[in-house]
Copies of this chain bind each other. A is one copy, B any other.
Amino acid sequence: MCMMNHHYEELEESYLFAGIADRIRRYSAAHPQQRILRLGIGDVSQPLTESVIQALHEAVDDQAVKKTFHGYMPECGSEDLRKTIAAYYRKKGCNIGEQEVFVSSGASDELGDILHLFDRSIPVLLSQPAYPAYADANIMDGRKIIYLWAEEGNGFRVFPPKEEMTSLIYICSPNNPTGAVYEKELLQAWVDYAIRTDSIILFDAAYEAYIADEDIPHSIFELRGAKDCAIEICSLSKTAGFTGTRCGYTVIPEKLTREGMNLNTMWIRNRTTRTNGVSYILQKGAEAVFSEKGQKEVKNLIGIYRHNAKIFMRALDEAGLWYIGGRNAPYIWVRCPNGMSSWDYFDFLLEKAQIVGTPGSGFGPAGEGYIRFSMFADAKDIEEAGSRIIQMELK
């Protein structure tokens, strides 16, 4: 008998963001006059849009008066918001019912929580480089992780393995950190593989709103058979600037079953036992994102970051650096020049050009030799960083 969950001891300490902060601090102390251009962190910089702000204020007012006050919310989400999100899916051509939509506090929260549905003996198929929490949340549960390496040669996407095994499969498209996107055929191959092997795909669609190309799926449910093998986890963090406001949603098809257990029913039971629902105020704010006006506003919002990406890609092209992402994603993944390691190039950029990126090796060994730039940064910083990279490379 054991008191504690000893799988926590198997986690490696992550020095990624602490390491970055530390280096910036030291550089700034030595060069206090230099302005640092921060393209490191994947956090948004633009405020919430007008419709959302108005809806939030109205919801706060509702909570001030007995007649309109809301106590406990339905654990799986308010009926209105679930309906609104289901309609959003139907507009994308996905036949999703409101009972298949669950309102969440955001994708990060949900990506950890959803694992409770699965046995701890099931192996996890994970592509590398990856958002570190995918692996860490599974290590904490004691699950075995099988890594698939994404590389330049395959555009930093991974293909279903030859070995046919039942597993929990993570797919993030558009991808964090690489900005790579999975086209229809490749996603279909994954859906077919999952059905063949009785696997479940956890599809992270947090960046779906950044897709510009028409033939790239926004949702796994655009694919044939996905309702038999996939859960989609999405968030308003990057779509509508909700990183610090918090609200997201998860789709679990009503017909998704494994080993005689229905995953939608299990998740209802999980939510009703383990939460008391998402704040009424936040759900009202989230609902406003999907209104006609709200959708226009977030299109403009995303346009700002997309413009950043265009400017930065142009600079990279001029500098002659290899990269992917940016076109359908708010991240640009750049090969470090001259065979430099991720951290060497990080140091080089900080010292020579006062630019901060995120070392690719922080997303796993498959990211070594690359660096991630976030287009959520300030437009001025993006532009200036682009010019400095051009100057350095053409010198």
Contact = CB atoms under 8 A, between A and B. Distances in A.
Interface of A: 1-6, 8-9, 11, 43-48, 50, 53, 56-57, 60-61, 63-66, 69-73, 105-106, 108-109, 111-113, 116-119, 121-123, 133, 136-137, 140, 166, 198, 200, 237, 241, 243-246, 258-259, 261, 263, 266, 269-270, 273-282
A268 to B, nearest CB: 11
The 10 tightest CB contacts between A and B, nearest first, are A112-B274, A2-B119, A43-B71, A70-B244, A108-B276, A47-B69, A71-B243, A246-B279, A53-B64, A56-B60
A60 B63 contact: no
A167 to B, nearest CB: 9
A328 B116 CA distance: 36
Contact of A137 (B111, B261, B266, B274): B274
A119 B121 CA distance: 15
Contacts of A243: 71-72, 276
15 contacts: A3-B198, A4-B118, A4-B261, A8-B117, A8-B270, A47-B63, A47-B64, A47-B65, A47-B66, A48-B63, A53-B61, A108-B276, A109-B274, A244-B277, A246-B279
Given A3-B119, A133-B274, A246-B276, A53 B63 contact: yes
B108 A274 contact: yes
Copies of this chain per assembly: 2
Contacts of A263: 4
Contact of A244 (B45, B73, B275): B73
Contact of A266 (B8, B198, B246): B8
Contacts of A133: 273-274
Given A11-B269, A70-B244, A112-B274, 15 more contacts: A2-B122, A4-B258, A4-B263, A8-B261, A8-B266, A43-B71, A53-B60, A57-B60, A60-B60, A112-B273, A113-B274, A244-B279, A246-B278, A279-B282, A281-B281
Nearest to A135: B273
B63 A56 contact: yes
User: A53, A166, A243, A259 — which one has the most chain B CB atoms within 10 A of its CB?
Assistant: A243
Contacts of A65: 47
Given A266-B8, A273-B140, A279-B279, A244 B47 contact: no
